Structure 1
Amino acid sequence: MGRGRDSRPARQRPHLTTPAPGRWRIAALAVLTLDGVLSAVVGAFFLPLYVGAVPMPVSGLISGLVNVALVWAALQWVSSPRLVALPLWGWLVTTLGLTLGGPGDDIVLSGAGIMQLAPVIFVVLGGGPPAYFLWRLTSRVGV
């Protein structure tokens, strides 16, 4: 641009390059894990949607994409793959809880006919993409 800018050294902005304090990381991971739980609940409740007479498990796929985004967001806060997987673990534990009977023996992830496969479809579509993302992350890092 100008001669005056070429003579000065490049400057770092320390407030942009320093990592966040520990309490902010813990709070961010807690919020992301809670988002994983909410993703499981909302995805499970919308899983038995039908288009005409055909069940379409679109919410499982949307839940998988949301979980990839949550895992990626956790990666921005911490670098440990074990901690990055917390949103996925929250999602998996909630999905497992939704397959168990609640008060009055109500089970969210169940149904008749093809919907008996709902838990399997939901776990594959909702947990597969973030698990693949984590697997690629750990194979690239070598952890």
Structure 2
Amino acid sequence: MLLLILLGLDGVLSALMAVFFLPMRLGPVPFPISALLSGALNAALVWAALQLTATPRLGALPLWTWLATLLVLMTITPGDDIVFGGSGLMEFGPVLLVALGAVPAAWLVMRAGDRDVRTGAASAPRAR
């Protein structure tokens, strides 16, 4: 259970990293690489959580904490600063971040849920 809590905390850290590095630029061009990196990290965190638990809902804890952190940062801006904003591609920064950051992890959770439905029972945690 402690490892799941730590993975959930890693989801929060992943969201913070993704949000604050989202406005990165490669020269004059916006380059939202943090959305892609956060998606890969979230998929790895969810995969690790799914190895520790039998239920996909609990295995999605890093994804839930990631989404909750994004929701907080979208509604309550730190220091009244604009976190999400910009022109051009960066106008779609929040959409890109949610799509690229959450879809790979959500796909893993859905795949784990489909596996449980096909077998007719919850899968047992793997031996460590």
Q: TM-score range by the shorter chain?
A: 0.7 to 0.9
1:97 equivalent in alignment to 2:72: yes
> Where does structure 1 differ by over 3 angstroms across 4 or more consecutive aligned residues?
none
1:72 equivalent in alignment to 2:47: yes
1:85-135: CA deviation from partner (whole Å, max 9, x where unpaired)? 100000000011111233543232222333121100000010011011111
Aligned 8 A contact 1:37 1:91 in 2: yes
Structure 2 counterpart of 1:47, one-letter code: L
| Structure 2 stretches lacking a partner, 5+ long | 123-128
1:52 equivalent in alignment to 2:27: yes
CA–CA separation in structure 2 for the residues paired with 1:107 and 1:36: 22
Aligned 8 A contact 1:67 1:130 in 2: yes
- Larger RCO (alpha carbons 8 Å, 6+ apart): 2
Counting matched residue pairs gives 118
CA–CA separation in structure 1 for the residues paired with 2:52 and 2:58: 9
Percent identity among equivalent residues? 52
Alpha-carbon RMSD: 1.5
Taking structure 2 as the reference length, the TM-score comes to 0.85
In our comparison, the structure showing a higher alpha carbon Rg is: 1
Q: CA deviation at 1:76?
A: 1.6
User: What is the aligned counterpart of 1:128 among 103, 109, 115?
Assistant: 103
| Structure 1 stretches lacking a partner, 5+ long | 1-25
Which residue of 1 is the match for residue 18 of structure 2? 43
Is the alpha carbon distance of 1:123 and 1:103 closer, same or farther for their aligned partners in structure 2, counting shifts above 3 Å? Answer: closer
